[in-house]
Amino acid sequence: MISGHWLWIGVCCGMLFLAVGAAAGQAAADGWQAGVARAKITPEEPLWLAGYAARDREAEGALHDLWVKALALRDASGHTAVLVTTDIIGYPKDMSDRIRDAIGREHGLARAQIVLSGSHTHSGPVLDNSLPDIYPTNAAQQEAITRYTRQLEGIVAATVGAALANLAPAEIFTGSAVARFAVNRRNNREAEILQLHALEGPQDHAVPVLKVQRPNGGIAAIVFGYACHATTLDGYQWCGDYPGYAQIELEAAHPGAAAMFFAGCGGDQNPLPRRSVALAEQYGRTLAAAVSCALESPMRALAPELHTAYHEVELAFETPPAREELTEIIGKSEGYVRRWAERMRGILDAGESLPATYPYPVQAWRLGEQTVIVMGGEVVVDYAVKLKQLLGRDTIIMGYANDVMAYIPSRRVRLEGGYEGATAMHAYGQPAPWTDDVEDRVMGALRLVCAQVGRPFTTGDDDSVK
């Protein structure tokens, strides 16, 4: 079960539902409207922690609570969108679809107008149908996971409703800063990190920030991101990892504000060194200090104009292994790889075919002159580098949103292989690695949604865009 503290949302929704209907019928003619809501989602019953295959039991208490937070935005023409940030490893497709469908039914929002973002903390709860083969859970533990997942779906939808009910005049500002604890894990060995004098490989150390401010000067929300795994910790206590500590730090410095973290293109980036609470706290303070730097520096005001676009593109899998190959893998493997092969063989034995493609979600928002790109999956940093070349260095890029189905490698990473390029597909329960044109397909879809919000790619040497 989830803490009963979230139930206040239902009360707020009931009291303010009529206000939502009234606000929907009129635009904030002279500016933005924004609404913020939050709910505690720390599990109360024993539950498995998400992200690592090496864990062997449920959580044992909490370092701090986990939260879902929603920011609703409405522009001067009445166009509305909502951003949800969550202390979870990420939203699996079926869960995300149910939540977005519920929001659509209740509030008339299309998928282009909804972003469901997970921080990718590896100290949050396991969710149903997420990384299905890596956890050696029994039937009772799986029932608890399913029960929690369904409860969380209702809480997220209710939090969105409360944010929409709280819409009030606001201004929105954008800025950025820098934090440098993310390290490209494909190019730098963790065991040698303290001896290295120069780090190798691409990274994105930008800290993009959106400030939502009320007319009286009070801050309603601070939205910020960073391109790095939330994997400082690998213990057995609930925790938002460094993003959780950063949000706590910012909310202490700005009472009444909701600090909302989103994960960037950090699929191949780790916080290094790691493996201690002290380091998670340090990185949280470092990130919060960068956000504070952006808030205290001149920020650009965004005109009250909102455009949204969404598209799903089919990413292709390589030819999956035949039944005989799966049987061979089962015989020589153990752990999640063996469970993956057994499940794949079971699908074939049931007379079904393994999927050939996957519907991958991309999204673009434009807030005034600020471009926001939203991508599903564990996106590697190459995409951030390329998109900022095409759209400008101030572009905000979110990964781990709407659906986290696998790693999304660039062409370079796919050809190099390794965990992010190929073998992690076992952990995610997919039938095979992506085909080598994965970057072409993703960038083509992003080109489409960016054009739809009035932000076409610049011409240049982007040979991935066809």
Three-class SS of residue 365? strand
Tokens of 360: 């991958």
Boundary (domain end) residue, out of 349, 369, 403: 349
Q: Is residue 159 part of a domain?
A: yes
Task: Look at residue 24 in the predicted model and tell me its pLDDT.
Answer: 41
- 405-454 tens-digit pLDDT: 999 999 999 999 999 999 999 999 999 999 999 999 999 999 999 999 99
Quick one: which of 416, 445, 414, 412 has its CA closest to 318? 414
- 129-150 tens-digit pLDDT: 999 899 999 999 999 999 999 9
Q: Is residue 299 part of a domain?
A: yes
Instruction: Determine whether 191 is exposed, middle or buried from the number of CB atoms within 10 Å of its CB (0-12, 13-18, 19+).
Output: exposed
Could you tell me if 328 and 305 lie in one domain? Answer: no
H/E segment holding residue 362: strand 357-367
Distance of CA 252 to the CA centre of its chain: 24
Q: For residue 197, what are the contacts with CB-CB under 8 A and spacing of at least 6?
A: none
Q: Is residue 150 part of a domain?
A: yes
Distance of CA 47 to the CA centre of its chain: 21
Could you tell me if 102 and 185 lie in one domain? Answer: yes
Q: What is the pTM of this model?
A: 0.92
Could you tell me if 201 and 322 lie in one domain? Answer: no
Could you tell me if 300 and 365 lie in one domain? Answer: yes
Number of domains in the chain: 2
pLDDT of 309 above 70: yes
Quick one: which of 410, 445, 406, 441 has its CA closest to 424? 406
**Which residues form the domain of 193?**
4-310+357-452
Q: Is residue 89 part of a domain?
A: yes
Q: Cα–Cα distances in Å, from 148 out to 34, 135, 153, 428, 440? A: 29, 16, 9, 20, 37
Could you tell me if 115 and 209 lie in one domain? Answer: yes
Three-class SS of residue 243? helix
Q: Is residue 465 part of a domain?
A: no
Task: Look at residue 363 in the predicted model and tell me its pLDDT.
Answer: 98
Helix axes 93-107, 139-165, angle to 10 degrees: 30
Could you tell me if 224 and 331 lie in one domain? Answer: no
- 235-268 tens-digit pLDDT: 999 999 999 999 999 999 999 999 999 999 999 9
Q: Is residue 458 part of a domain?
A: no
Could you tell me if 334 and 370 lie in one domain? Answer: no
Beta bridge partners, 114, equal: 82
Could you tell me if 256 and 209 lie in one domain? Answer: yes
- 319-371 tens-digit pLDDT: 999 999 999 999 999 999 999 999 999 999 999 999 999 999 999 999 999 99
Boundary (domain end) residue, out of 330, 349, 368: 349
Could you tell me if 26 and 143 lie in one domain? Answer: yes
Could you tell me if 328 and 426 lie in one domain? Answer: no
Q: Is residue 35 part of a domain?
A: yes
Residue bearing the bigger pLDDT, 7 or 462: 462
Could you tell me if 294 and 341 lie in one domain? Answer: no
